[in-house]
């Protein structure tokens, strides 16, 4: 089986090996709510933590070793619309009440570079919503690598790494297309591919693909298009729907 990417998943602050991937972080479980520590190629050591502001969407906060904030990235918008400010205190709320935020750290497009995928999840009655933001280093600064955050449901997925087929390093997001069929019946799928452009320092969309057939499995839908990405949403234990 082709290995597309070397990745460590960080759930809270704990590095967990994703099946079929190598671990980048080999740290012991730290104290609760302590930040994850990641070494970027140019910036060096960066600490990453999650924040749940009152009456706002969850946020990724990146700081240097002295506590200086390098970047704040809010993960979520009106596509994750339900916010109950009374429950937004420490990130322990149920995902049916407010979005929860998790993130993973992956090898980036250049040697020693790192890329962070932050994913907010909101549960629902018959489905779940996921919104993703991608953060990386460009010219010595952290920045969002996607022009707009991406969205998918439990039937879909996200992937970060080598896109295969000589497409280079990038990001993929896929979701079902709801036609006249019932929610739980097979669907056609849409897949969007973004390739990292080193000159622009951004992910640029290079493909917007639809399957011809309907599927009850996103893995089978990707296979029709010649794609075989692992779904990173399924690597997060409390993202079940």
Gap between the Cα atoms of 74 and 148, Å rounded: 12
Q: Which burial class, exposed, middle or buried, applies to 7 when counting CB atoms under 10 A from its CB (0-12, 13-18, 19+)?
A: buried
Q: What angle do CA 164, 170, 173 make, to 5 degrees?
A: 95
The three-state secondary structure class of 5 is: coil
Tens digit of each residue's pLDDT (9 = 90 or more) over 164-222: 999 999 999 999 998 777 777 889 999 999 999 999 999 999 999 999 999 999 999 99
Gap between the Cα atoms of 190 and 180, Å rounded: 16
29 backbone dihedrals φ, ψ, rounded to 5°: -65, 120
Judge whether 155 and 187 are in contact, CB under 8 Å.
yes
Tens digit of each residue's pLDDT (9 = 90 or more) over 33-84: 567 999 999 999 999 999 988 778 899 999 999 999 999 999 988 776 655 5
pLDDT level of residue 3 (50, 70, 90 thresholds): very low
pLDDT at 187: 92
Q: What predicted TM-score, i.e. pTM, was given to this entire model?
A: 0.82
Report the run of H or E that residue 221 belongs to, with start and end: helix 218-224
* DSSP per residue, 133-162: EEEEEETTEEEESSSS-EEEETT-EEEEEE
When mean pLDDT is compared across 11-15, 113-117, 207-211, 226-230, the lowest value belongs to 11-15
């Amino acid at each position: 089986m082709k290995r597309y990417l070397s990745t460590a998943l960080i759930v809270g602050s704990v590095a967990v090996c994703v099946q079929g991937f190598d671990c980048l972080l080999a740290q012991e479980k730290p104290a609760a709510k302590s930040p994850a520590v990641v070494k970027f190629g140019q910036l060096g050591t960066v600490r990453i933590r999650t924040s749940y502001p009152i009456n706002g969407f969850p946020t990724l906060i990146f700081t240097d070793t002295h506590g200086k904030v390098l970047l704040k990235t809010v993960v979520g918008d009106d596509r994750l619309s339900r916010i109950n400010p009374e429950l937004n205190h420490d990130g322990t709320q149920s995902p049916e009440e407010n979005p929860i935020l998790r993130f993973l750290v992956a090898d980036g497009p250049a040697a020693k570079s790192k890329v962070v995928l932050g994913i907010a999840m909101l549960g629902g009655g018959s489905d779940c919503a996921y919104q993703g933001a991608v953060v990386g280093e460009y010219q010595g600064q952290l920045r969002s690598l996607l022009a707009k955050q991406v969205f998918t449901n439990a039937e879909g997925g996200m992937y970060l790494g080598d896109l295969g087929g000589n497409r280079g390093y990038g990001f993929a997001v896929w979701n079902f297309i709801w036609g006249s069929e019932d929610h739980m019946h097979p669907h056609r799928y849409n897949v969007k591919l973004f390739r990292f452009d080193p000159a622009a320092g951004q992910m640029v969309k290079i493909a917007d693909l639809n399957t011809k057939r309907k599927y009850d499995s996103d893995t089978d839908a990707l296979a029709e298009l010649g794609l075989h990405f692992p779904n990173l949403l399924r690597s997060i234990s409390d993202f079940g729907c």
